[in-house]
Structure 1
Amino acid sequence: MKNTPASDFFSPSDESMINSLASENGILYSLEAVKYYDDHIINTIDEELEMILKGLSFESGFLFKKDATFFDFLNRVRDEELLLQSIGLWDVPHPWLNLFIPRSGIMDFNEGVFVDIIQKQNRSSSGPFLVYPINRKKWDDNMSVVIPEDDEDMFYTVALLNSAKDYKDWVIMDEQNTEILKFCDKSGIKVKQYFPHYGKKEEWMKHFGKKWDIFKKRKAQFDPKMILSPGQRIFNSE
């Protein structure tokens, strides 16, 4: 991530180290992990963490830990909200781009988007970039949300959570999102957007793919007068 507001997870000295490493390497990838514990294992928690992290390879000295109550962990997004409010970055446009990416395409996406479009082209960004692997077997395919149509056992959620400080900034980030989607299409990475915006029925049909017929059937069954979600222009774009 670049130009991201400071987080209370890192101390000022931690941030200085991270910024120095980022200036040397350009892109940093961080892995977040959570370990729950209670009073019964409080004396062995450090040893358990050491065992969990034993198989990982990372830059020496760049392991950061924070102890928090269960409530504070669940409420962490609220803390980030208050932080963004304090620096005027909450009530602003958020040109987010959320994608589902096939496992086979994640490395090409990394090289083409994170390394090329965002880093090498020095494109503007302000917000966290999150990547989550998802086990396809754990996914409920009865939902209307569309994921990559392949037989791979895993796919990735990539969330580019930008915040624009003004209209000009928003336009730049929106154009960047369009460029990312064009790159995926040109490279043959069969991504699916989460909450996409299309203006034509044909585009929605392509998005839903083999789910289109069942999606249309459910719409006719539960919303025959097409009252719900008119702004998405799925059925009222004709």
Structure 2
Amino acid sequence: MIAYLECFVHENDTESRPDDDVSSLSKALDLQGSIHDCEGPTDEASRDFGGMYSLAPLAFIRPSDADDVARKVKEAARSSNLTVAARGNGHSINGQAMADRGLVLDMRSLDDHFRVVEANNGSFYADVSGGALWEHVLKQCVSEYGMAPRSWTDYLSLTVGGTLSNAGVSGQAFRYGPQTSNVTELQVVTGKGEIFNCSETENSELFFGALGGLGQFGIITRARVLLQPAPDMVRWIRLVYTEFEDFTRDAELLVTRQDEEDSFDYVEGFAFVNSDNPADGRPSVPLDPDQVFDPTHLPRTAGSMLYCLELARHYRHADDPSIVDMVVAK
């Protein structure tokens, strides 16, 4: 995921700069991080996950902190033709993380500002860089503090700023909302190159604009994410359906159960092909490489598409396994 920003302004101070003079560009941008020129459509900064566009930037910049990001945006704001795009892990699909002959910022290079803080109400939060990958945030929270973000994404190799610029949805969203509902504070670099801290009570318009704003209100360089105790164990289940109506009925039933003690902690569904294709067919459903999908259990009336509910129940070592079994069976 990415958060992107394009700036077009009035003074033309870039036309005299040679495209291949990376050192002079770095000096002009007062760069504390690093910069390199791009070698064409095969360069990392020229591609994204969608694979539909290829745009070569002027330079791929690795900023060291929010001040570095702000300097790049200010440079673009003083130019009549220079654009800048923030690139997370490159999981955009329509070229949002690219800047044709502009500046692409590698947000993953931002300094790691990870720290866990406790609020006055007893809640715990993680202050994390906008360029941090969620998988690293999760690992650090669990291994060092026994905590975890309340809401994740299914695929964790995405940046914090990228998913917060979209929504950040997975199987916990039915209970806690998307990731954008589990953030209390942001640091944002606006289109003028100004750095603001914002929350529901401070610079609130920018806060709510940046969350889910697809990068159009600024670049997220830091976020304060709500945490909760991580479970010791997880019971992980997948149920396969042949009928779409049964699948959606059960999914709705499970996500509307309000009693946390008598429900699942994760509910999500997906469709797959009723074939032996390992990419999107029956072999993609088992949870473990040693498991296999036994198609003999499918009724003869099964169609070309099948449906799967993925469920998880959290519990602790002190919990009685029989209670967990009873809740799952129910």
Same fold (TM over 0.5): no
TM-score by length of 2: 0.28
- Highest relative contact order (Cα 8 Å, sep 6+), 1 or 2? 1
Greater share of residues in helix:
1
- Bigger radius of gyration, 1 or 2? 2
TM-score normalized by the length of structure 1: 0.37
